[in-house]
Amino acid sequence: MHYYNAFYSPDCSSRGSGWCGWLRNSSLRCTKQKSIRSVNRGIHTTPGPAPPWRNGFVPRYTWRRPAWADTSRVNRPTLPARQPDYNVWSFPTGNLTWTPQMNGPSYLPEPVQWTPATLSAMPWPQIVDERPEIAPWLALNPFQPAMPMLQWDIRQNPITARLTTGAHISTDLAHALSSPITDIPVSIIEISIPACPMAYMWNVIRVQKSSAIKVQDVLDAIYEWLQTPLTRAEMEHIEYVNPDGVEAVLWALQERSSTSPTLHGWEYRQGPRRIDCLGDVRRWIGLSYSPMGQGMQLVLNLQTIQRQ
**Per-residue confidence (pLDDT) for residue 8, from 0 to 100:** 46
Residue 278 near residue 267 (C-beta atoms within 8 A): no
Q: What is the pLDDT of residue 145?
A: 86
Single-letter code of the amino acid located at 39: V
What mean pLDDT do residues 46-64 have? 51
pLDDT of residue 83: 54
Inter-residue contact 149 to 141 (CB < 8 Å):
yes
Strand partners, 115: 95
Q: How many CB atoms lie within 10 A of CB 5?
A: 11
Any alpha helices (H) in 117-261, and if so which ranges? 174-177, 215-226, 232-241, 245-258
Q: What is this structure's pTM?
A: 0.58
pLDDT at 105 (0 to 100): 47
The most confident of the ranges 63-67, 69-73, 85-89, 236-240 is: 236-240
